[in-house]
Structure 1
Amino acid sequence: MEETLVTTICVYAVMLVYVLLQRTLVAAAAEAGGLGPVAVAVAIVGLVWRCT
């Protein structure tokens, strides 16, 4: 039961981070020449991998 709860919390946390960062993806891409979204994607994948 605890593992399921932790997984659920991680999923919600990743979703929340994505929603918060979604607004800045365009600006990050413009400033970093398209590297911004890649860095964000890598960070999200890292969070998911750490939670599983």
Structure 2
Amino acid sequence: MTITVSLAAAQANLTQLVDQVAATHQRVEVTRDGVPASRGLHLYLDVFQHG
């Protein structure tokens, strides 16, 4: 499952977003105004469980 968020939303609450992703071990795709960032600017946060 991929969670898609906007940059505006991520900037407003990035720490909480990362914590939520870490808790669910999901992948986050960051988009700009609903359109995936282009030209290599895709940002994926792959969060792996530790321990």
TM-score (normalised: structure 2) = 0.30
Q: Whose RCO is larger (CA < 8 A, sep 6+)?
A: 1
Quick check: which has more Rg, 1 or 2? 1
Which structure has more strand as a fraction of its residues? 2
TM-score, structure 1 as length reference = 0.30
